[in-house]
Chains A and B, each alone.
Chain A
Amino acid sequence: MSRLPRSPIIEMADGAGGKASRRLVEGTIVPLLGDAWKGTLADSAVLDIGPGRLAMTTDAFVVRPLRFPGGSIGELAVNGTVNDLAMAGAGPVALVAALVIEEGTAVETVEAELRALGEAAGRAGVPVVGGDTKVVEHGKGDGLYVSTTGLGRVLEGVALGPDRVREGDRVLLSGPIGDHGITILLARGEVDLEADLRSDSRPVWPLVRPLLEEDPGAVRWLRDPTRGGVASALNELARDRGLAVVLEEAAIPVREPVRGACELLGLDPLHVANEGQFLAVVAPGAADRLLDRLRSIPGGEGAAIVGTLREGPARAVLAETPYGGTRIVDLLEGDPLPRIC
């Protein structure tokens, strides 16, 4: 029953809505999603989700190369979206996915990404309930773009947002930073560097949920430091809340190859993207307990308290060195570019 399209590459007909399209969706996409597929191929998925508050988010995934050590676009498309839900204190309930495939892309590539998407959804415990596929002309896309929309249920008693953050609150970081961004930079091959490094792409809800359950009132703000890194995420908080975030530079976990690549290319690990970490601002009295809780969860061993909310300088992020120096940690202007001076 799962007959593949005859051509080894995707053709315009595969997205034209006719027989080939149907063959692609029913014969390839749906079977490859495996157990994660809970859809019906109707125009809309209908969900019975009961009471409570819902969180909803959408994200478009564009990455070159499509596969890289530790992950691929199909996996990112699930983790990125369920992590955005987690940052609202929500566990994932359902996901829909849209694929934009470039004509000429190997069917094999598409299959591998669908498998990755299905497996990631399985790991994150979220059903895929619908989707869409379009094919664009050769040269009009990087092989494959994936967009996912996620629906989640907010855990009871959780209230998150910059307005809840107070002076004196502590900043918790779930693990070492920069693995994803540096892995991608190296995987592109443009800087001719090699390292034993993998993307940190993973769903963070299994780490976030126990913290929220432990003490829902003590967790005040959550953010996953994806593009723009920790610096961007915390600058947004500082700006939204009108306080200063003061980081303790020596407390920020960074793996050796990330540090090495950053020293070599003149980048700041605080600007480098992550796909499996989160920042939590927590009440000062609960910080140590929540850190211990996080560290006790598999995957949370590398967590650390990395900073404190202070009154001023307002709307700024600072890094303090162990010998008392401070510097402003600014937003990055555009993508990180390797520099030689």
Chain B
Amino acid sequence: MCLAIPGRIVSLDPDEPGEATAEIGGVRRRVNVDLLREEGVGPGDWILVHVGFALSKVGEEEAREQLRLLAMLGEDGVPEPDPGGGEGGDPDATY
């Protein structure tokens, strides 16, 4: 019911508290991070962006744990992937 997508914080806006620039799949946008002020966010953090607002931090540890579980569930001995899998410098990545 709501489209939200993971993005990485590039920088916090020094003039506008609560405003940051995030990169989402090679696209940059100003994102409001005010809803995460209690947890605190900074450059390099992954956040979930919806209508220009960060709703939550994407937990690396939780992501790893889910992938570990998923690799086990498949039973076929698929090696556990990394959450960053698929990311890379390939400019013509397929979708």
Contacts and interface: CB of A to CB of B under 8 A. Distances in A.
Q: Note whether A and B contact each other (Cβ less than 8 A).
A: yes
Interface string A239-271: 000000000011111111101111110100100
Contacts of A47: none
Contact of A266 (B1, B3, B91): B3
A93 B39 CA distance: 65
B5 to A, nearest CB: 5
Given A264-B5, A341-B2, A256 B91 contact: yes
B95 A252 contact: yes
A194 B94 contact: no
Given A339-B3, A341-B2, A264 B27 contact: yes
Interface in B47-91: 49-52, 90-91
A196 interface: yes
B27 A254 contact: no
A192 B91 contact: no
Contacts of B5: 263-264
A interface, size bucket: 20 to 34
Contact of B93 (A195, A249, A254, A261): A254
A49 interface: no
A1 interface: no
A340 interface: yes
A251 B26 contact: no
Contacts of A176: 92
Contacts of B95: 249-250, 252, 254, 259, 262, 269
Interface in A173-195: 176, 186, 191-195
Contacts of A31: none
B36 interface: no
Given A252-B95, A255-B26, 4 more contacts: A194-B27, A254-B95, A259-B95, A340-B50
Interface pairs A-B: 6 shortest CB-CB: A260-B25, A257-B26, A256-B26, A260-B27, A195-B27, A194-B28
Interface of B: 1-3, 5, 24-30, 49-52, 90-95
